[in-house]
Every structure is written in structure tokens, then in C-alpha cells.
Structure 1
Amino acid sequence: MIRILVADASSIARDVVNDGINVHRSKRYIEVDIVNNGLAALEVLKQKQIDLAFIDVNLPGLSGPEVVASIRGTKSDKCLVVAMSNSLDEQAEVSLRRNSAYHFLKKPFHQDDVSNLVATQIKMGTACPILIVDDSATMRKMTRKILEGSRFSFDISEADGAQSAIKAMRSGKFKLVLTDFHMPGADGLELAGSIRDLSSKVGVYMMSTNETSYLQRSAAFVGISGFLQKPFTPEDIDSVMHRFLQIDAPKFGKSRGMFSFDEPEMKAS
């Protein structure tokens, strides 16, 4: 089930959002709360675990940025927040970014824009099977914690080297692999080549502290998808997933540039 909040004083905007949500009702059970002011919006966010919230910036009672700033610590503190307005001033944008809003829809928008965001939330909530490969148990634990902080959901498994990773990959379960470069025995490049022999569809990202031109050329040759430069963050994982799933980058996304070989560069819409 997906719980969605629509908060807007305009009945026209509420109807457009609801039409975009309805596109997905045949495949998903979706519960929608519709309110017309900020106080009512905050009450819903406190009482229910909302997954996706469409919130007008200029709500009466409490403004959209004030509502978003109050979400932390509620049942809905991990919800995907989409702000809506005819325009967005600097103060509102700074507040929304600071409080981890996801995207901005400029009015008037189309129901397809809403439908795409609902589809994004569905993808984020669908656990992606991922394999962490590192000979250090400490680094595997740290990487797991970073993945758990991402907006995306993961089904996480671990391997302590290339041999155990290849054994796990033969199950056909995994869609993504995060591998260290420096490992005893076969290194990350050799592992990537072996994974490519099994599947061309698995995303393989190398965790590295230094991306030399030689390493980049070698990585491209064996089919590595890109690099995650250490230390990386949950926001960097979000960027990887947006590329891997070909989801447009959000207005308020936080990321740094990453070297990527085969995913198209997603642009903010």
C-alpha cells in the first residue's frame, strides 16, 4: 500500500494531482488524504505514515515550507516531499532543501508529471537486491549503513571477496554490485569481468579512493558501470540509483559528480 497526501488550497491543483495518482490505482492500492491547509496537512503527516506528499508552498495556516520543516520526528519523516507552486522564491527553496524536500512542480503542471513521481516512489519503495563486496567487515558494515540511509530500498547481501561474490552472483538474484577495488586474490576489476560473463544487465560500481585514468580505462574495458569515490554518502547512492533506474534527477537532489560509463546523465526536470 502507498499512502499519499495532497495538500493544496486550489481544487484544480488537487484534481490534477489526484488524476495523476489514479493512473496507478489499477496496479497498486493507494490511500490518499486530501486537505486544503497547512495545519490539516501536518496533522495527517503526524497521524499516518505518509510515503509521498504533494504540498503547496503557499498553504494557508502553515506554509508548505513550514509543514515540511515540521515533518522530522513524525511518522512521515521519511516521506518523499514534492512542493508545488507558481513560483519558488529563494527563502522557500533554501528551507525546502534544508529539510530534505525531493522535488518541485511548477504550476500549472500535468497529471503525467504527478504520475511519474508516483512511479518514482514505487521504484524507491521496491527493494533492489544488492551485493556489497569488500574483504573488510568494517567497510561492509559502513557501506550497509550508507545504503540504509538512502531514499531507495535495498535487499542487502555481503561477500568478503571475489570468489564468494561470484558464487552469490550465480543465483541470478542481484541487480547491483558495489565492489571494492583492492582485495586479496582477484581485485574489483577481475570480479567485474567475471560478473559480466554472467550478466550484462547487472550494475557494477567500484568503490575507490582514487580514479586514475588507467583505472578508468580498465574499468570501462571490463564493463564497470561507474565509480563511487570514498567516502560516499546516502545521497551519492541516490544518484547512482537515479542513473541506474533512469529516473530524472529531482529539483532538490544533493549529489556530487561521479564518473559513470554507461548510464545516461539524468537532468533535473
Structure 2
Amino acid sequence: MLHKMIRVLIADDSAIARDVVRAGIKTHQSKRYFEIDVVPDGQQALDVLHKKQIDIAFIDINMPGLSGPEVISAMKETKSNGCLAIAMSSDMNEKARAIFTEFGAYHFLKKPFHQEDVAGIVSSYITMTEGYPILIVDDSTTMRKLTRKILENSRFNFDISEADSAAAALKMVSTGKFRIVLTDFHMPDVDGLELAGAIRDQSSKISIYMMSTNDTTYLERSAAFIGITGFLKKPFTAQDIDTVMHKLLGLDDPNFGKVRDLFSFFERERKAS
């Protein structure tokens, strides 16, 4: 399988930090080809981000000229909008954290860090860009289109298919193609729980997520018994999908990411015990 090159930017005025990041990236060179740009200040970092589409940007918070937060906040106006931005510093104040969160930064590396920390982030990126076959099941054309758009805005790479009924969904699932199913709960004839049970009869490996606009508390025990992986309360966002995928794939939660319980009663019982 041919993988696209990964373009990485390392922006730090510390040569030591730049070398550690580069060493962490190089641990993956047997799997993917990397093009690495290394710069010592914020203005040069922004120049690179304007010039080419960067996939992963390691940005020091405190740099000469433009600071890390200023570079991150300007990133949306560059070719690299949407890249995986990693903030680096020995400390981070609340103002910087607020900027990184607002503009979609992914993670924070506290100095001094090790090449293994960098390698873990690069590994997460590689995992995100693998293809994940996913089936959207909803009788509403509008909701299927909306869900597709949300998936397309996720950091993860999905191969998206759609089904407008439980019968169509089961026929498609029987091909063995899909890894994930997102199904609406309220559908005519067969509801989401019944469909999930039928899917689970076919395969124990497919991850099933239920979409619902209503309070799902009364459904959660039945859903867990059937083998539903979790719920997505409508309206949900691409960031919620990212949270789901991090948990599904066992990836570390991003520092600036959103953590969302998939079965809220599990969390309630844990806190009560």
C-alpha cells in the first residue's frame, strides 16, 4: 500500500529540543517517508506554514519574534490549516492554553521531553491517517449528509458508506467491509437497538455507536448488554468523533482534546463506588 509523505515542521530556538524531536520522528522512518523543515523562530515557522501543507507542526511556545501561540493562531490562514499542532514548553500559562484550545492545537509536550514522547505522537498521526471503513445508518437523508460532513471534518480518515434502513445496513455489514457502524436509534420498523443486536450476531469485531437526540440513560444498560460500544448524543461534532476514535484505538487522549463518556452510567457508578 502506497502511503503519502508526511511533512513535519519543527520550530524551536533550542537546538537540543529540535534534535530530540527529529530523533523521535526518525524512529518511524522504516514505515513512512518524512519531509522535515527545521526553523529557529516563529516568523520562519509561519513562512513554512504558508509555503506548504504541513501535516504535523511541533511549535515551541517561547520563540524569538512570533511566539508559539501567535503562530498557532495564524495557522488557519495558511496552507497548513488543520495540521496536527503540538505545543512545546517547560510550562504553559492559561492564556497560551486558551489560544491553543481555541485554534485546534492537538497536544502539549512539557520540556524536557524524550524522543519516545515524540514518537508516540507521530504514531498517533499515522494511526489517524489509516483508512477506517464506517457505515452511517439513518432513515433521514439530511442526517446522513450531516453525519458524513462531521466525519469528513474529523482528524481521522474514514471510508464512508450510507444505509437508509436496517435491512440495507445488515446487507452491507454482511460483506465484512466495515469496522465501525454509526446508527440512529429512532428508525421505522427496526430501531437502533434491534439493528445493533442483529449486527452483533454477525460480528463481534464491529464497533457500534448509537446516535440519539434523547436522553439515553434508560437505554444504556440494554445497549451495553447487546454489545453497543457507546452513544453519540446529537448534536455531536468532529471533535466528539475524534474522542470516540482515540478511545476505540487505544490512543492517548490529546492534551487539548475533548473527553466524552461513551456510557455515562459507567462513570456515574464509578464515582458513586
What TM-score, normalized to structure 2? 0.92
Question: Which deviates more, 210-219 or 87-96?
Answer: 210-219
Match of 1:14 in 2: 18
Does structure 1 residue 138 correspond to structure 2 residue 139? no
- How far apart are residue 53 of structure 1 and its match? 0.5
Write the mapping of 1:216-231 to structure 2, written as runs, cut at 5 A: 216-231=220-235
Match of 1:267 in 2: none
| Distance (whole Å) between structure 2 residues aligned to residue 162 and residue 134 of structure 1 | 8
| Distance (whole Å) between structure 1 residues aligned to residue 225 and residue 165 of structure 2 | 21
Match of 1:232 in 2: 236
| Distance (whole Å) between structure 2 residues aligned to residue 98 and residue 222 of structure 1 | 38
Does structure 1 residue 91 correspond to structure 2 residue 81? no
| Distance (whole Å) between structure 2 residues aligned to residue 65 and residue 144 of structure 1 | 31
Contact 1:226 1:260 in 2 (8 A): no
Distance 1:257 1:222, change over 3 A: closer
Runs of 4+ more than 4 Å apart? none
- How far apart are residue 127 of structure 1 and its match? 2.3
Match of 1:33 in 2: 37
- How far apart are residue 121 of structure 1 and its match? 0.8
Write the mapping of 1:28-177 to structure 2, written as runs, cut at 5 A: 28-177=32-181
| Distance (whole Å) between structure 1 residues aligned to residue 33 and residue 64 of structure 2 | 30
Q: State the percentage of identical aligned residues.
A: 63
Equivalent residue for 1:210, pick from 211, 214, 222: 214
AA aligned opposite 1:244: L
| Distance (whole Å) between structure 2 residues aligned to residue 74 and residue 242 of structure 1 | 27
Question: Which deviates more, 225-234 or 249-258?
Answer: 249-258
- How far apart are residue 210 of structure 1 and its match? 2.3
Match of 2:191 in 1: 187
Contact 1:127 1:153 in 2 (8 A): yes
SS across alignment from 2:54? coil
Contact 1:225 1:261 in 2 (8 A): no
- How far apart are residue 242 of structure 1 and its match? 0.8
Which structure features the higher share of helix residues? Answer: 2
| Distance (whole Å) between structure 2 residues aligned to residue 28 and residue 261 of structure 1 | 41
- How far apart are residue 96 of structure 1 and its match? 1.2
- How far apart are residue 148 of structure 1 and its match? 1.3
SS across alignment from 2:32? coil
Structure 1 spans left out of the alignment, 5+ residues: 263-269
Contact 1:39 1:62 in 2 (8 A): yes
Instruction: Report the count of equivalent residues.
Output: 262
| Distance (whole Å) between structure 1 residues aligned to residue 263 and residue 37 of structure 2 | 41
| Distance (whole Å) between structure 2 residues aligned to residue 260 and residue 103 of structure 1 | 25
- How far apart are residue 256 of structure 1 and its match? 4.0
| Distance (whole Å) between structure 2 residues aligned to residue 59 and residue 158 of structure 1 | 47
AA aligned opposite 1:4: V
Structure 2 spans left out of the alignment, 5+ residues: 267-273
Contact 1:53 1:80 in 2 (8 A): yes
Contact 1:51 1:80 in 2 (8 A): yes
Contact 2:220 2:265 in 1 (8 A): no
AA aligned opposite 1:171: T
Question: Which deviates more, 45-54 or 147-156?
Answer: 147-156
1:157-208, Cα deviation, whole Å (9 max, x unpaired):
0000111111111111111110001111221111111111222121100001
Contact 1:101 1:252 in 2 (8 A): yes
Distance 1:35 1:225, change over 3 A: same
- How far apart are residue 134 of structure 1 and its match? 0.3
Contact 1:224 1:261 in 2 (8 A): no
Q: What is the alpha-carbon root mean square deviation over aligned residues?
A: 1.4
SS across alignment from 2:235? coil
| Distance (whole Å) between structure 2 residues aligned to residue 169 and residue 11 of structure 1 | 52
| Distance (whole Å) between structure 2 residues aligned to residue 212 and residue 152 of structure 1 | 26
AA aligned opposite 1:151: R
